């Protein structure tokens, strides 16, 4: 059986990237993380990729005078990488629409809230957890969803919940949610790679 290629996109620490790379769940299927795409040359994700011999691809729209040139470069790179699945793991740039169209059903994202709550442009990091605390929500969690043209708006694939305690702070809640993310993401990636097809229409 052909080894499935997983491409990670990450901008920051890369703990979800690491969780995917180290997950025993992905050891018993023919799958391999073959490249990391990042817009941030100083990211922990890039350092991890380099130290684990995972192909690093540094690409950022800010380095291009014309957005179309960036999109073409990204498209060419992805064509060469032949991804079976593209997993965004804390990737802060928007995936250009032509790339979303080409890989629809193969690009997924993890978000630290129970979408559709606290999703969309500018909902990331601690501000998500801060809002959960301020609204006195009793539960929060994380969501894996297909990527569409709109931030955090594609069909939901899976969610994991965590209880919010009265003494939780944004920081403590972030830790609890991240722990769930590290469990949920490998499960979902495995499920998608072992399903006959990854088709967002079938999961709505
Ligand atoms: C995670 O909370 C993820 O849900 C969000 O960005 C964060 C990335 O964290 N999309 P890390 O870089 O994987 O530690």
Cis amide bond preceding 116, omega within 30 = yes
Q: Is 111 assigned a catalytic role?
A: yes
Phi/psi of residue 71, nearest 5 degrees: -60, -40
Residue owning tokens 């709550």: 117
pLDDT band at 201 (very low <50, low <70, confident <90, very high): very low
Is residue 198 pLDDT above 80, yes or no?
no
Q: From the CA of 88, how far away is ligand 1's center (Å)? A: 9
pLDDT band at 196 (very low <50, low <70, confident <90, very high): low
Residue bearing the CA closest to ligand 1, atom 10: 90
Distance CA 142, CA 66 (A): 35
> For residues 45 and 8, is the Cβ–Cβ distance under 8 A?
yes
Q: From the CA of 126, how far away is ligand 1's center (Å)? A: 10
What number is the average pLDDT over the span 145-171? 97
Report pLDDT digits (tens) over 115-139.
Answer: 999 999 999 999 999 999 999 999 9
Report pLDDT digits (tens) over 35-85.
Answer: 999 999 999 999 999 999 999 999 999 999 999 999 999 999 999 999 999
- Residue 57 pairs in a beta bridge with 37
Catalytic residue (choose from 111, 129, 145, 182) = 111
Structure tokens given for 152: 């955090």
Residue bearing the CA closest to ligand 1, atom 6: 90
Pocket of ligand 1 from Cβ distances under 6 Å? 10, 12-16, 89-90, 110-112, 142, 178, 181
Atom of ligand 1 nearest to the CA of 142: 4
What pTM value is reported for the model?
0.94
Radius of gyration in angstroms for the set of CA atoms belonging to the chain, rounded to a whole number: 17
What number is the average pLDDT over the span 6-33? 96
């Amino acid at each position: 059986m052909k080894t499935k290629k997983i491409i990670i996109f990450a901008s920051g620490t890369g703990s979800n990237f690491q969780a995917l790379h180290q997950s025993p769940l992905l050891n018993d299927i023919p799958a391999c993380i073959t490249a990391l795409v990042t817009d941030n040359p100083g990211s922990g994700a890039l350092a991890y990729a380099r130290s684990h011999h995972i192909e690093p691809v540094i690409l950022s729209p800010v380095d291009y005078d014309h957005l179309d040139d960036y999109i073409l470069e990204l498209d060419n790179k992805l064509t060469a990488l032949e991804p079976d699945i593209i997993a965004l793991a804390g990737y802060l740039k928007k995936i250009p629409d032509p790339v979303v169209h080409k890989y629809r059903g193969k690009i997924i994202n993890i978000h630290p809230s129970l979408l559709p709550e606290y999703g969309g442009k500018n909902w990331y990091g601690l501000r998500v957890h801060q809002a959960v605390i301020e609204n006195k929500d009793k539960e929060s969690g994380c969501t894996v969803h297909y990527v569409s043209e709109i931030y955090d708006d594609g069909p939901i694939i899976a969610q994991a919940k965590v209880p919010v305690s009265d003494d939780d702070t944004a920081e403590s809640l972030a830790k609890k949610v991240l722990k769930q993310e590290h469990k949920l993401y490998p499960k979902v990636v495995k499920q998608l790679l072992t399903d006959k097809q990854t088709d967002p229409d079938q999961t709505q």
